[in-house]
Structure 1
Amino acid sequence: MPCHSSRAWISFALAVSLAAVGCQGDESAAPPTTGWVADTLRLGQGSDFRSLDPAIANDTANVPIVRMLFQPLLDYDDGVNLVPLTAEALPTLSKDGKTYTFHLRKDVKFSNGRGVTADDYLYSWRRVINPKTKSPWASFVTDRVAGAKEYADGKAADVQGLRAPDSHTLEVTLLHPDLTFPYVAAMPFLAPVPREAIESVKDEAERNDHFALHPVGNGPFVFKDWQRGLRLRLERDPHYWGPKPSALDAIEVQFGLDPLTLQLMFERGELDLMDRIPSAAYVRLRKDSRWQPNFESLVFNGVYYLDMNCEMEPFNGPNGKKVRQAISYAVNKDRIVQLGNGRYEAAKGVVPPHMPGYHSLVKGYPYDPKRAKELLKEAGYPDGLPEPLTLWLSNEGDQGSLIAQVVQQDLAAVNVKVKLNPVNFAVFNPAVSRRNSVAFSFYGWFQDYPDPSDFLDVLFSSKSISDVESNNLTFYSSEEADKLMEEADRETNPQKRMDLYAQAEEVIADDAPVVPLVYPVEIWLHQSWVKGHKLHPVWLVRYEELSISPP
């Protein structure tokens, strides 16, 4: 899923960050011991959430909150192993490897008190692929479930591969065997939604927008209030059916907070968690022994990279590949790692090295400005690019701009001028995912599930291209890479499957539609009164497991 700017973008140059360190001095105040609110988790954000509709929410800040409202069939244990959630057990699989059968728990309820049935899943999954919903997740279903694409295209009245033999049994038949489908079934966008809550709005054109602002789900929390751009409040669901109800009574999120304000509020005890720690504060607090026990870190399966739109100048046409390769050689990733103070690992490929069972063949593009200039000359630009590149990035947080300025300086050294265009994430994400809109951008992708297909298929398959809400932001299309990824999708031997994906990544790396920069080390700070905070390898943060206790 796309990384929302609340987790990792950067807005101050290194010089400014170092100056800030000097201004604040080497001393920090001790962690606060007062200010906590009983059983209420208080969070801060830059941009408001896009939606509370599970079919729509798709970034790394939005999804953890949506998970509190909606729960799908499966979940993960403390690692990357799937466990049943609203299903009684893990699904059974037919001999041909194509039909999964889920037996549903009979005690699951929506927050309106009504019990959840298999028909609710049928309705919800059809809704995800209905073009009127405009779900960015639709292809996860249409590319897998038999008859889903025909239904989405209006060529079939129902989805052939979805059946409910009885009120608590769901059968899903796939187009072909797919080892990733159980992971997809654990994603919040496939959680059930109640038909009556959506269709209570008579105007069909307004139904989805209304539901996004007034969600009714089956999770441990219920929607209470949302003042757009200001604050959101969720409260514990009295109808929650789960074996372990949350110890929290409420979750509150404040929006419109810049990184410095977030930091100051956290240090004063007005917020309970902080994940986008400004560079100056990070260095200061990390060195303070009083704050060190409150840090949590995890090398997460994600990657930050530069997108180069293969349909736009100067990255398209017969010489576009050489330009893209030149940009790849021109960026010094080790410098980014050094300036990150332990928050990054240098990237060679798009698939993170910690992906379970995966071994990349990609050697990457070492820092080589001489080779970059040679490639630009071969592409017809002996004096560098004649026009500046505009690099789009989100303007929140304090890491994205620092990385962008390193890129700007490195490309200037090979006679490629770069103008930085930092914008609000709510503007940034629709722009970069719209065809013929943005040629050059800084982006981050975090796993939806722990498998290389979630990086390669989603980001580089021709099937991931659309005119708007495109997951393939480079609009890169390769018959060779597509074929290898399609073979991998259908392969049931786990090792052969991983080998095919490794070959596909090698092809993609040679074509260079992106410049993989760094893999993130996720670093969070929590107050001493927050208990149970442990970063998760898939969800990163699971708010339902937290509690508030006096220090």
Structure 2
Amino acid sequence: MLAGVAGISLILVGCGQKSSQEKKTITTSTDTELTTVDPSKTTAVGTFNVLNNVDEGLFRLGKDSKVEPGIATSSSVSKNGKVYTFNLRKNAKWSNGDPVTAQDFVYSWRRTLNPKTASQYGYLFSGIKNADKIQNNKAAVSSLGIKANGKYQLKVTLEQRIPYFKLLMGFPVFFPQDSKTVDKYGSKYGTSSKTQVYNGPFTLTKWTGTNSTWTLKKNADYWDKKAVKLDNIKFSVQKDPSTSLNLFNQGKLDMAQLSATQSKQMSKKKDLISRRQSSNYYIAFNQKIKAFKNLKIRQAMSMIINRPVLVNKVVAGGAINNKSFVSKGLAVSPKNGTDFTDDVTVPESMNYNPTKAKKLFKQGLQEVGMKRLHFTLLNSDTYDQKQLSEYLQSALEKLPGLTVSLNNIPGRVILSRQADHQFQATVANWFADFSDPITFLNILTSKNPSNISQWKNSTYDQLIDASNNDDGGNAQARWNDMVKAQNVALNDQAIIPLYQSGEKWLVKSSVKGVIYNTAGANYNFKDAYIK
């Protein structure tokens, strides 16, 4: 998933009665800022949603994550499932007029994997020939299993079958990049709308890199521009959901995401809809810190949290307590069709037990030679996440000897702090990049840059490695590896899973054609329109 800032949302907006020209514009609001539109460096859900609409890869993901044509007009795969050949359309262009070629994909993939880029998403390329060796500085970037056969044919060689390979191709990390633009802007590449070029249905405009508004404008050079009905999608940052609700009630918004309190108050509204997200919100403890290396302390802090109260009273919005790290509804067993979360063995620490929690915490403090523990909990500064922080502070401080301070900061800062491990404890989240459990499980491996807690477990690493390599061609064996790995992570309290998020929206019937997928880049506006 997609790592991102907690509480990212999208709100489609209109302004009362629309003229015929205004009917080609959707105004949206979000509760977090853009940080970068460099596809090699971003990790934020909101940014991937933008990239999914201003850029395009080999495939696009339509309704229910169905693979649809993108830059590739056709593709074929070898009998052993390890070699893919893509034929590219010759009428695809960048917004600066350059043609989109096979070499743009080669350049983009190599740039993301290059250790100098320090991408947190390089691990997604695992399974492509030499990708892991390149990330570990054991092979040249040029040895990656991707090759341009002329301008309009691309060949990708894998080390083993990747069951979800085509889904990956619809995720922005695998989109092409224009090398001329990267070279032109250097370190400023992707830091504003003017330091990037686009090949998707829209282009990004009016974003300076620090402002709280931006616009997606219909791309006149897009190969399928006739299918794009909107002229503009306008974004503005609104961190207080009451502002959005007031605008909706005034007839100035077409669609408004609700806070936990609002969603309960509006439960009988005919315009109310629910959207489940393939996500997990969790607490990550910096396990380089002595106290957080202690398993009993981590278990106690998990056990003191009343998750049913958390999801129903604090978070709401369709959130669920699935007692898992992998989200519910993401994948089903190849053997019997049961949900992945149904195969999880839930440890005692995932259940609310304040008496046992206090006992474990006391034992943990004794083991690390401490009488009291004080730490700061880092989280984003959106309305709902501030509410969550306050609840967690209240719950955790029921452990005798524990004091928790809160630090809620803007989204552009928190992702950097998490990536650099500049925190004691933080609320983080992961949103699925594609519909497979490994999208969650990969990030807890010891060398994964998105493993912000820096937890390490050799058994876990071995199981994930087996699922990606030796058992990659055996669906059931691979499934069993992933189930066992998740059980290891939960039992060792790698992180503290809190909830799987959902969204409650008030939506006017005039908003049509917006495609929402629970995994990957969630929003596809290519076919959206106002009726």
Offset of 1:272 from its aligned partner? 3.7
Scaled by the length of structure 1, what TM-score is found? 0.85
- Greater Cα shift, 71-80 or 379-388: 379-388
Match of 1:486 among 440, 443, 465: 465
Letter in 2 for 1:261: T
| Paired residues of 1:99 and 1:173 also in contact (CA < 8 A) | yes
Task: Write the distance in 2 (CA, Å) between the matches of 1:385 and 1:418.
Answer: 15
Contact 1:47 1:229 in 2 (8 A): no
Q: Distance in 2 between matches of 1:418 and 1:385?
A: 15
Matched letter for residue 390 of structure 1: T
Q: Is the Cα contact below 8 Å between 1:57 and 1:66 reproduced in 2? A: no
Counterpart position of 2:353 = 368
Q: Aligned to 2:177, which of 159, 179, 193?
A: 193
2:288: which partner in 1? 311
Contact 2:101 2:152 in 1 (8 A): yes
| Distance in 2 (alpha carbons) for counterparts of 1:165 and 1:348 | 48
2: CA distance between counterparts of 1:156 and 1:410? 50
**Matches of residues 459-474 of structure 1 in structure 2 within 5 Å?**
460-464=444-448, 470-474=449-453
What's the offset of the Cα at 1:535? 3.1
CA 1:118/1:525 → structure 2, altered by over 3 Å: closer, same or farther? same
Residues 168-183 of structure 1 mapped to structure 2, 5 A cutoff? 168-183=152-167
User: What is the alpha-carbon distance in structure 1 between the residues aligned to residue 176 and residue 425 of structure 2?
Assistant: 38
Where does residue 335 of structure 1 map in the other structure?
Answer: 309
Give every structure 1 segment of 4 or more consecutive aligned residues whose post-TM-superposition deviation is greater than 6 Å. Answer: none
- Pick which of 159-168 and 496-505 moved more: 159-168
Identify if the C-alpha distance between structure 1 residues 213 and 238 changes in structure 2 by more than 3 Å, giving closer, same or farther: closer
Q: 1:389 to 1:347 in 2, by over 3 A?
A: farther
Q: Which residue identity does 1:304 align to in structure 2?
A: Y
CA shift for structure 1 position 507: 0.6
Verify: 1:390 aligned to 2:368, yes or no: no
Counterpart position of 2:492: 511
- Give the Cα–Cα distance (whole angstroms) in 1 for the partners of residues 413 and 389 of structure 2: 18
Does the 8 Å contact 2:15/2:252 carry over to 1?
no
| Residue 548 (structure 1) aligned with residue 527 (structure 2) | no
**For each residue in 1:275-304, what CA deviation from the matched residue of structure 2 results, as whole angstroms up to 9, or x when unmatched?**
3x233433333334xxx23x3312221111
Give the letter aligned to residue 427 of structure 1: V
Task: Compute the displacement of 1:257 (Å).
Answer: 4.6
Task: Quote how far apart the aligned CAs of 1:249 are.
Answer: 0.3
Q: Distance in 2 between matches of 1:390 and 1:245?
A: 50
Deviation at 1:421, TM superposition (A): 1.6
Aligned equivalents of 1:38 and 1:243: distance in 2?
Answer: 17
Structure 1 residue 209: Cα displacement: 4.9
Deviations 1:388-444 (A, max 9, x none): 23211111132x233333322222222232222211112212112213x21211122
Task: Confirm whether residue 158 of structure 1 aligns to residue 139 of structure 2.
Answer: no
**One-letter code of the match for 2:475?**
P
Percent of aligned pairs with the same residue?
A: 25
Instruction: Give, in angstroms, the shift of residue 35 of structure 1.
Output: 6.1
The 5 Å alignment of 1:95-114 reads 95-114=79-98
Q: Which residue of 2 aligns with 1:284?
A: 265
CA deviation vs aligned residue, 1:198-251 (integer Å, no higher than 9, x gap): 3334xxx43525676432121001233224323212211112112762210011
1:345 equivalent to 2:320? Answer: yes
Paired amino acid for 1:410: A
- Aligned pairs for 1:68-83 (under 5 A) are 68-83=53-68
Match of 1:236 in 2: 218
Give yes or no for the alignment of 1:302 onto 2:279. Answer: yes
> Which residue of 2 is the match for residue 147 of structure 1?
130
- 2:331 and 2:141 map into 1 onto residues whose CA distance is 40
User: Number of residue pairs matched?
Assistant: 507
SS at match of 1:420: strand
3-state SS of paired residue (2:230): coil
* Cross-structure match for 1:501: 482
Partner of residue 430, structure 2: 445
Task: Point out where structure 2 has 5 or more consecutive residues left out of the alignment.
Answer: 333-339
* Residues 1:413 and 1:198: Cα distance change in structure 2 (over 3 Å): closer
Q: Aligned in 2, Cα 1:545/1:341: closer, same or farther, shift over 3 Å?
A: same
For the residue of structure 1 that corresponds to 2:235, the secondary structure is strand
Match of residue 455 from structure 1:
440
Higher alpha-carbon deviation: 48-57 or 106-115: 106-115
CA distance in 2, matches of 1:148, 1:504: 23
User: Quick check: 2:201–2:224 contact (8 Å CA) kept in 1?
Assistant: yes
- Post-superposition offset of 1:43: 1.3
Please identify, of 341-350 and 261-270, the stretch whose mean Cα deviation from structure 2 is larger. Answer: 261-270
Alpha-carbon distance between aligned partners in 2 of 1:171 and 1:430, rounded to the nearest angstrom: 35
Partner amino acid, structure 2, of 1:219: G
> Quick one: distance in 2 between partners of 1:168 and 1:42?
36
TM superposition shift of 1:361: 2.0
How many Å apart are 1:336 and its aligned residue? 1.0
Q: Give the deviation of 1:150 after TM superposition.
A: 5.2
Q: CA offsets, 1:474-532, max 9 Å, x none? A: 11111000000010112212222111100000111111021111111222333343222
Among 504, 507, 513, the residue aligned to 1:523: 504
CA distance in 1, matches of 2:278, 2:343: 14
Partner residue of 2:336?
Answer: none
Query: Which residue number in structure 2 is paired with residue 123 of structure 1?
Result: 107
- Pairwise CA distance, 1:149: 5.1
Do the aligned partners of 2:377 and 2:407 also contact (CA within 8 Å) in 1?
A: yes
Partners of 2:132 and 2:476 in 1: how far apart? 29
Does 1:355 find its partner at 2:355? Answer: no
> Is the CA contact (8 Å cut-off) linking 1:5 and 1:397 kept in structure 2?
no
| 1:86 CA drift (Å) | 1.7
Asked if the contact 1:272–1:526 (Cα under 8 Å) also holds between the matched residues in 2, the reply is yes
2:102–2:150 CA contact under 8 A, matched in 1: yes
Residue number among 198, 201, 211 corresponding to 1:217 in the alignment: 198
Supply the distance in 1 between the matched residues of 2:322 and 2:482 (Cα, whole angstroms): 17
Which position in structure 2 is the counterpart of 1:206? 187
Equivalent in 83, 86, 105 of residue 71 of structure 2: 86
Matched residues in 1 for 2:317 and 2:213: separation?
A: 32
Q: CA deviation at 1:151?
A: 5.1
Report the CA distance shift for 1:385/1:337 in structure 2 as closer, same or farther (over 3 A): farther
| Aligned position for 1:258 | 240
Which residue number in structure 2 is paired with residue 28 of structure 1?
Answer: none
Q: Distance in 2 between matches of 1:381 and 1:213?
A: 56
Aligned to 1:19: none
Pair 1:207–1:252, CA change in 2 (3 A): same
Change (3 A) 1:76 1:548: same
CA shift at 1:547, angstroms?
A: 0.7
Contact 2:15 2:253 in 1 (8 A): no
Counterpart of 1:56 (choices 41, 53, 59) is: 41
